[in-house]
Amino acid sequence: MSAVLEVTSIKKNFGGISAVADVSFDVREGEILGLIGPNGCGKSTLFNCILGQLTPSGGEVKLDGKVVTGLRPAELNKLGVSRTFQLLQVFPKLSVRENLILAGQEHQGNMASRLVGRSDAGLTEAANQMIGFFKLDHLADEPAGGLSYGQQKLLDAAMAFMGGPRLVLLDEPAGGVNPSMLSDLKERLIAINREKNATFVVIEHNMEFVMSLCSRVMVMAEGKVLAMGRPDEVRKNPAVIEAYLGH
């Protein structure tokens, strides 16, 4: 399996604080990589550096072997890299359907055709499909801001999949989502992973969710990679137990 994403020696300092200190790893085509670690260990900062939302203090990010460090988030998204957010990030006043249409529209045509060409014909249909897939049918015309926390998390995930991304970085998708909705979400992620051959990196604190979903797990602590391996290996690793999982 080839690497979709190669991260080499990424560093990020905020003033004198080193949030991410020399992190290197790669993500293989089609895998679901879990990213775990205590709060404040640099997981989200690492995501933001990879996605161009923060400029790394050093290091390099390669997508399909091409350097993409320093590209803006919108440019990376056009290359097929999508994400979800730890905190709710939807368009609150727009309906669920409009949120999803927005999530897909920039992947069709160009600026000019988006103004004059009515290029959204297929978009509404794609949005409706995604609504069905995530069982949001009864909420399709509601403003996204009126949805419950868990529903908005689900919508956030659905939005990340609208453009048909190859690589999706999910930041705590299970946070605040109730158990039955969570098993739904897991099913959906596995389905998209298999059918659309999408690659995922998932930050999550819910161990059961991570261990059952991911093919490999990376553990971070204090801005560094502590361990990387299969879920059962990582779970037994003494350093990981010490730093994160507890006895």
Residues that bind other proteins (CB under 8 A): 51, 53, 72-74, 77-78, 82-83, 85, 89-94, 98, 101-103, 105-107, 111, 114-116, 118-120, 159, 162-163
Task: Between 86 and 215, name the residue whose CB sits nearer to other proteins.
Answer: 86
Q: Cα(181)–Cα(163) distance, rounded to whole angstroms? A: 23
User: In the complex, what is the shortest distance from the CB of residue 77 to other proteins, in angstroms, rounded to a whole number?
Assistant: 4
Cβ–Cβ < 8 Å for 131, 96? yes
Distance of CA 73 to the CA centre of its chain: 13
User: In the complex, what is the shortest distance from the CB of residue 247 to other proteins, in angstroms, rounded to a whole number?
Assistant: 38
Task: Between 118 and 247, name the residue whose CB sits nearer to other proteins.
Answer: 118
User: In the complex, what is the shortest distance from the CB of residue 132 to other proteins, in angstroms, rounded to a whole number?
Assistant: 19
User: In the complex, what is the shortest distance from the CB of residue 163 to other proteins, in angstroms, rounded to a whole number?
Assistant: 6
Token duo for residue 29: 């085509």
Task: Between 199 and 237, name the residue whose CB sits nearer to other proteins.
Answer: 199
Kind plus residue range of the DSSP H or E element containing 82: strand 81-83
Q: Of 80, 84, 52, which Cα lies nearest the Cα of 64?
A: 80
The 8-class DSSP code of residue 5 comes to E
User: In the complex, what is the shortest distance from the CB of residue 123 to other proteins, in angstroms, rounded to a whole number?
Assistant: 8
Kind plus residue range of the DSSP H or E element containing 26: strand 17-28
Task: Between 51 and 227, name the residue whose CB sits nearer to other proteins.
Answer: 51
Strands 66-67 and 58-63: antiparallel
Task: Between 141 and 232, name the residue whose CB sits nearer to other proteins.
Answer: 141
